[in-house]
């Protein structure tokens, strides 16, 4: 595996691959790689001849300085995992490489502050500016790597839908592929931020996935009122007093709009804080 730190070197490296008509897959990450990232890389390896994993803690998507500063980092861990999963390139730029005038950000892409839930509600509401940072860095990576396919996790479901829109509107040749959430056997969704949880806090955090699975069971049993489903999830979360709930909602799976009644599919989404750590998780439901 090649470790590449500069845009110029990456452009040179990929030009050769493109000349040979090799399919290029991109897996954007912020590092501290785990089995969730590994599943994205492995899927990319199955579907492409060259897989680039980017590893960059993107400052513009953090709406809290402390969260950015305490984001876990371990270069050796990332090198090992990316290589073992079959990546050909690990692209690890420094801040100035991605934002030449940092801390000034001269060019930024923004999502439209419309009345659509996708751009205005849930993560967009609780993390102002977050998705502007995400689309900015993803656009930079898309323009740089020009992949045939790019892989994103359902773990960040709203992000996945927004990145799909970004590609449709600005990078129509790139196919954005969504990949299922990888969980610990306990049900806890894997996340780099879990490294900041104590064992005790991990037990508390479990309530989030338990609430999602309880709601899914209720849907499987025929409940179709989103309000009742949301109340059920809220009650589950309230069992853990140290969790402070931001939202627990049942939305349309395709655009995250609220629904008056659930028909064929839905997306259950939860965000909660455990002391300073913010946890998100979601689950899709389809009528069987
Ligand atoms: P991050 O490094 O947290 O920005 O994540 C990089 C990519 O990995 C994003 O597309 C995430 O949605 C995805 N990802 C993170 N955690 C998981 C997980 N547990 N399962 C599947 N994909 C994940």
DSSP string, 239-264: TSTTEEEEEEEEE-TTT--B-SS--S
Check residue 33 and give its pLDDT: 98
Going by alpha carbons, the residue nearest to atom 22 of ligand 1 is: 153
Check residue 208 and give its pLDDT: 98
Which atom, in ligand 1's list, is nearest to the CA of 183? 19
Give distance in angstroms: CA of 177 to centre of ligand 1.
12
Residue indicated by tokens 């402390």: 66
Percent of the chain whose predicted confidence (pLDDT) is above 90: 98
Check residue 90 and give its pLDDT: 98
Check residue 288 and give its pLDDT: 84
Give distance in angstroms: CA of 6 to centre of ligand 1.
23
Give distance in angstroms: CA of 152 to centre of ligand 1.
7
Give distance in angstroms: CA of 157 to centre of ligand 1.
10
Q: What is the pLDDT of residues 238-249, one digit of tens each?
A: 999 999 999 999
HEC string for 92-138: CCCHHHHCCCCCCCCCCCCCCCCCCHHHHCCHHHHCCCHHHHHHHHH
Q: Which residue ranges have their beta carbon within 6 Å of ligand 1? A: 29-30, 36-37, 39-40, 152-153, 155-156, 179, 181-182, 189-192
Digit-by-digit pLDDT tens for the chain (288 residues) are 999 999 999 999 999 999 999 999 999 999 999 999 999 999 999 999 999 999 999 999 999 999 999 999 999 999 999 999 999 999 999 999 999 999 999 999 999 978 999 999 999 999 999 999 999 999 999 999 999 999 999 999 999 999 999 999 999 999 999 999 999 999 999 999 999 999 999 999 999 999 999 999 999 999 999 999 999 999 999 999 999 999 999 999 999 999 999 989 999 999 999 999 999 999 999 998
* Contacts of residue 256, Cβ cutoff 8 Å, sequence gap at least 6: 117, 118, 121, 122, 157, 158, 161, 267, 269
- As a whole number of angstroms, the distance between CA 145 and CA 24 comes to 8
Helix (H) or strand (E) holding 24: strand 24-29
Task: Look up residue 82 and give its two tokens.
Answer: 């990316």
Going by alpha carbons, the residue nearest to atom 14 of ligand 1 is: 153
Contact 90, 27 (CB under 8 A): no
Task: Look up residue 255 and give its two tokens.
Answer: 């655009």
Q: Give the gyration radius of the chain's Cα atoms.
A: 19
Check residue 174 and give its pLDDT: 98
Check residue 114 and give its pLDDT: 82
- As a whole number of angstroms, the distance between CA 199 and CA 204 comes to 9
Mutate to test the pocket of ligand 1, among 25, 27, 29 (most ligand atoms within 8 A of CB): 29
Measure CA of the first residue to CA of the last residue in the chain; give whole Å: 43
Percent of the chain whose predicted confidence (pLDDT) is above 70: 100
- Number of other CB atoms surrounding residue 137 within 10 Å: 21
Task: Look up residue 229 and give its two tokens.
Answer: 């489903």
Find the length of the chain.
288
pTM of whole model > 0.95?
yes
Going by alpha carbons, the residue nearest to atom 10 of ligand 1 is: 152
Does residue 37 carry a catalytic annotation? yes
């Amino acid at each position: 595996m090649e470790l590449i730190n500069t845009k110029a070197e990456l452009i040179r490296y990929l030009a050769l691959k493109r000349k040979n008509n090799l399919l290029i897959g991109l897996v954007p990450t912020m590092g501290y790689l785990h089995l969730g990232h590994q599943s994205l890389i492995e899927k990319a390896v199955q579907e492409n001849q060259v897989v680039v994993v980017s590893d960059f803690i993107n400052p513009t998507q953090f709406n809290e300085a402390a969260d950015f500063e305490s984001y876990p980092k371990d270069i050796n861990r990332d090198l090992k995992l990316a290589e073992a999963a079959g990546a050909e390139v690990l692209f690890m730029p420094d801040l100035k490489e991605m934002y030449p005038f940092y801390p000034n950000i001269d060019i930024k892409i923004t999502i439209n502050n419309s009345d659509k839930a996708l751009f205005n509600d849930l993560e967009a509401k609780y993390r102002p500016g977050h998705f502007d940072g995400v689309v900015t860095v993803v656009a930079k990576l898309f323009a740089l790597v020009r992949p045939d396919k790019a892989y994103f996790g359902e773990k960040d479901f709203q992000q996945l839908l927004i990145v799909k829109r970004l590609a449709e509107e600005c990078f129509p040749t790139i196919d954005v592929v969504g990949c299922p959430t990888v969980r610990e056997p306990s049900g806890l969704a894997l996340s780099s931020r879990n490294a900041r949880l104590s064992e005790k806090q991990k037990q508390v955090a479990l309530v989030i996935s338990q609430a999602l699975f309880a709601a899914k069971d209720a849907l499987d049993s025929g409940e179709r009122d989103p309000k009742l489903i949301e109340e059920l999830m809220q009650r589950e979360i309230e069992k853990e007093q140290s969790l402070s709930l931001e939202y627990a909602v049942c939305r349309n799976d395709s655009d995250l709009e609220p629904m008056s009644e659930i028909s064929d599919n839905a997306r259950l989404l939860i965000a909660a804080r455990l002391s300073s750590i913010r946890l998100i998780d979601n689950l899709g439901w389809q009528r069987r």
